[in-house]
Amino acid sequence: MGKSTAASISLPADIAKEIDKMARLEHKGRSAVIQDAVRNYIEQRKWQELQLKISGRARRLRISSDEDIERIVDEVRS
């Protein structure tokens, strides 16, 4: 994983309890559960950003269906 940096965060008590419960169930430490959650959040945000970029391009290319994709592929191949 590489070098780690410590970060201090405050959590509502109910979330901290859920994290501790997950950590026990998964045989992980609290930090590992939080790291997983943050990693998943970052990946989700990157995916959302990519979807926004792609949907913008699709609108500019007038792509709204599979048929449109086939039409563009045919145009490129011609």
pLDDT at 29: 97
Residue 1 lies in a domain: no
> What pLDDT score does 27 carry?
98
Average pLDDT (63-76) is: 83
43-72: average pLDDT = 86
Closest CA to 37 of 52, 51, 18, 24: 18
Write down the number of H helices and E strands in the chain.
3, 0
Question: What is the domain count for the chain?
Answer: 1
Task: With respect to residue 3, please indicate whether it lies within any of the assigned structural domains.
Answer: no
Report the pLDDT averaged over residues 12-24.
98
Please indicate, yes or no, if residue 29 is contained in any of the structural domains: yes
- Determine the pLDDT at residue 1: 64
Residue ranges making up the domain that contains 60: 13-77
